Amino acid sequence: MADSTDPAAMLRHFEDRIARGEKIEPKDWMPNRYRQQLIRMISQHAHSEIVGMLPEGNWITRAPTLQRKMSLLAKVQDEAGHGLYLYCAAETLGVSRREMIEALLGGRAKYSHIFNYPTLSWGDIGVIGWFVDGAAIINQTMLAKCSYGPYSRANLRICKEENFHKRQGYEIVVTLSSGSPEQRAMVQEAVNRWWWPSLMMFGPPDSDSPNSAELLRWKIKTHSNDELRQRFVDTTVPQAKAANIRLPDPELRYDERKGSWHFGEIDWNEFYDVIKGNGPCNKERLNARRKADADGAWVRDAAAAYAEKRSRILSTKDTK
Amino acid sequence: MTEKNLHGENEGDLWEVFVQSETGAPHEHAGSVHAADAEMALQNARDVYARRGTPVSIWVVPSQYITATTPADAQPFFDPADDKVYRHPQFYKIPKAVKGF
């Protein structure tokens, strides 16, 4: 048993637990770096779910059928729930909800860059479900095995619900690509805009990813960004073929030796530029969240006032 | 219920959620919700943790009222449970002739 006054021994004991595949729970000893990395990752994951409701929410009133509207509403509602699971998981590490929200609204916290792109047509809704949720599934399947208990369990819950999101999107893509010439053109045009940003969702190559080594050693992630990106491409290429969709990469070809699909160079300047705030929708997304927070303040105040009033009434009854 | 923490949030507003996912099953910890009172906590818990399946029952408890063991004390606290071999069936010898024990 580790001597609780020797930090080096505590760290060794902690890393042994991780190596044995044990889960770390909220009250367990952990290095401050582990705690801070997780607070950053989990809160940004949560922000991504909430902000991610906006591009798809944009098309709820214009879904082409009642069935599509119901599916899209359910998907967006799921994203809200996912964000809430993740905020709760982050709070177990000692950060408060208000702190995290204020970091987002103040522009200090990041969220997935993909949600800074606009949804310009109904075709985008299909492509987002197929590409963006598809990429998220690959990432979240990995995170369901991470070393921190609450984050691992939140991701397990998310994974169970995420599969319908991808299928809903792919079904829309197949419907459009086997439809009229205008529908086929619309969905192909959406694919052309969303393909490269979706590949960027997995993050920069690990050589350019300063946090990667530490995250891997502590099993916060268990695969590199490049491995997950390759998995996404290998899964998606056959799906594109089956849907009669062309992926906008002239260098895409099957590598027999590696047993995987070779793809072209990603323009990382676009990624960093969007992260910095210069994407098409960064300001719009942040303004929407600020407005939601401001417009909802009276509801939070009213709920708190009502609860306090009731507890005062109940406590005076008890003293009779 | 109205003391505020450093961030201006009410201390009593974090609740732990336990869901019984089908009849006969135990209630299982699902996560937490923020809410101003018990009724809102139940509704929030339903909206966040019961969007699938056939949930039967939800319990919500203010987090501050949960008492838990600490990891540092776990070994001595649970020590008596593991070394009493006579609690295990294999400790007892039954004649081989007796079938289906």
pLDDT of A284-296, one tens digit each?
999 999 999 999 9
Q: Which CATH number does the domain housing residue B71 bear? A: 3.10.20.520
From the list B2, B32, B52, the residue facing A308 with the nearest CB is B2
- Please count the structural domains in chain B: 1
- Is B5 inside a domain boundary? no
What is the structure's pLDDT at B52?
A: 86
User: Is the pLDDT reported for residue A241 higher than 80?
Assistant: yes
User: Is A97 an 8 Å CB contact of chain B?
Assistant: yes
Distance from CA of B49 to the nearest CA of A (A): 8
Chain B residues touching residue A4 (CB < 8 angstroms): 72
Mean pLDDT (whole number) for B30-54: 93
What is the structure's pLDDT at A225?
A: 95
| Cα A291 from Cα A125, distance rounded (Å) | 24
| Cα A127 from Cα A139, distance rounded (Å) | 18
> Confidence class of residue B7 from pLDDT cuts 50, 70 and 90?
low
- Is B66 inside a domain boundary? yes
Mean pLDDT (whole number) for A233-256: 98
What is the structure's pLDDT at A319?
A: 59
User: Is B36 an 8 Å CB contact of chain A?
Assistant: yes
- Tell the burial category of A298 from Cβ atoms under 10 Å away from its Cβ (0-12, 13-18, 19+): exposed
> Confidence class of residue B14 from pLDDT cuts 50, 70 and 90?
very high
Instruction: Kindly determine whether residue B47 and residue A81, on different chains, have CB atoms separated by under 8 Å.
Output: yes
In chain A, positions 100-139, which contact chain B (CB-CB < 8 Å)? none
User: Is the pLDDT reported for residue A245 higher than 70?
Assistant: yes
Mean pLDDT (whole number) for A44-57: 98
DSSP code for A24 = B
- Is B67 inside a domain boundary? yes
> Confidence class of residue A265 from pLDDT cuts 50, 70 and 90?
very high
User: Is the pLDDT reported for residue A320 higher than 80?
Assistant: no
Mean pLDDT (whole number) for A10-35: 96
0.90 surpassed by complex ipTM: no
Cβ-proximal residues to A176 (8 Å cutoff; 6+ apart), any chain: A122, A123, A126, A183, A184, A186, A187
Mean pLDDT (whole number) for A268-273: 96
What is the structure's pLDDT at B10?
A: 62
User: Is the pLDDT reported for residue A275 higher than 50?
Assistant: yes
Q: What is the CA radius of gyration of chain A?
A: 22
pLDDT of B53-99, one tens digit each?
888 999 999 999 999 998 888 888 887 776 777 877 778 888 888 88
> Confidence class of residue A211 from pLDDT cuts 50, 70 and 90?
confident
| Mean pLDDT score across all residues of chain A | 95
Chain B residues touching residue A46 (CB < 8 angstroms): none
- Is B4 inside a domain boundary? no
What is the structure's pLDDT at B96?
A: 83
The answer to whether residues A136 and A75 touch, using CB atoms and an 8 Å cutoff, is: no
User: Is the pLDDT reported for residue A12 higher than 50?
Assistant: yes
Q: Which domain covers residue B35, as residue numbers? A: 13-91
Produce one character per residue of B56-74: b if its CB has 16 or more CB atoms within 10 Å, e if not. Answer: eebebebeeeeeeeeeeee
User: Is the pLDDT reported for residue A64 higher than 90?
Assistant: yes
What is the structure's pLDDT at B17?
A: 97
What is the structure's pLDDT at B1?
A: 42
What is the structure's pLDDT at A208?
A: 85
- Tell the burial category of A270 from Cβ atoms under 10 Å away from its Cβ (0-12, 13-18, 19+): middle
Crossing angle, helix A149-177 and helix A66-91, to 10 degrees?
160
- Is B40 inside a domain boundary? yes
Mean pLDDT (whole number) for A255-269: 97
> Confidence class of residue A158 from pLDDT cuts 50, 70 and 90?
very high
User: Is the pLDDT reported for residue A318 higher than 70?
Assistant: no
- Is B98 inside a domain boundary? no
From the list A27, A91, A308, the residue facing B71 with the nearest CB is A27
Q: Per mean pLDDT, which range of A103-107, A204-208, A293-297 is the poorest? A: A204-208
In chain A, positions 289-308, which contact chain B (CB-CB < 8 Å)? 300, 303-304, 306-308
Residue located via tokens 């708190």: A304
pLDDT of A304-316, one tens digit each?
899 889 888 877 8
